[in-house]
Amino acid sequence: MSSPTVADVVTALDRLYPPSTAESWDAVGLVCGDPANAVTRVMFAVDPTEAVVAEALAWGADLLVTHHPLLLRPVHGVAADDAKGRVLHQLIRGGCALFAAHTNADVAVDGVNDALADVLGLGDLSPLRPWPDDPSDKIVTYVPPADAEAVIDAMAAAGAGGQGYYRRCAWTVGGTGTFTPQPGASPAIGAVGRREVLDEARVEMLVPRYQRAAVLSALRSAHPYEEVAVDVVELAASDGSTGLGRVGVLAAETTLEGFAQQVADSLPATPGGVRFHGDGQRRVRRVAVCGGAGDGLLADAAAAGVDAYVTADLRHHPASEHLEGGGPALVDPGHWASEWPWLPRAADRLVKALGAINPDATTVETHVSTRVTDPVAGHVRSRPEEDR
Pick the CATH number of 134-237 from 3.10.350.10, 3.40.50.970, 3.40.50.1110, 3.30.70.120: 3.30.70.120
What local confidence, expressed as pLDDT, does residue 282 receive? 97
What are the CA-CA distances from residue 201 to residues 54, 138, 140, 175, 214 (Å)? 60, 16, 10, 6, 22
Per the rule left: phi > 0, alpha: psi between -120 and 50, beta: everything else, 335 is alpha
CA distance 355 to 340: 24
Q: How confident is the model at residue 355 (pLDDT cuts 50, 70, 90)?
A: confident
Architecture of the CATH domain 6-102+341-368? 3-Layer(aba) Sandwich (3.40)
Strands 171-179 and 308-312: unpaired
Pick the CATH number of 109-131+242-338 from 3.40.630.30, 3.40.50.150, 3.40.1390.30, 3.20.20.80: 3.40.1390.30
What local confidence, expressed as pLDDT, does residue 73 receive? 86
- pLDDT 10s digits, 131-160: 877 789 999 999 999 999 999 999 999 999
CA distance 2 to 34: 17
- pLDDT 10s digits, 328-337: 999 999 999 9
In this predicted structure, the answer to whether residue 101 has a pLDDT above a threshold of 90 is: yes
What local confidence, expressed as pLDDT, does residue 78 receive? 87
What local confidence, expressed as pLDDT, does residue 388 receive? 66
- pLDDT 10s digits, 195-205: 999 999 999 99
The full set of domain ranges for the chain reads 6-102+341-368, 109-131+242-338, 134-237
Q: Do domains 6-102+341-368 and 109-131+242-338 have the same CATH topology?
A: yes
Mean pLDDT computed over 290-299: 96
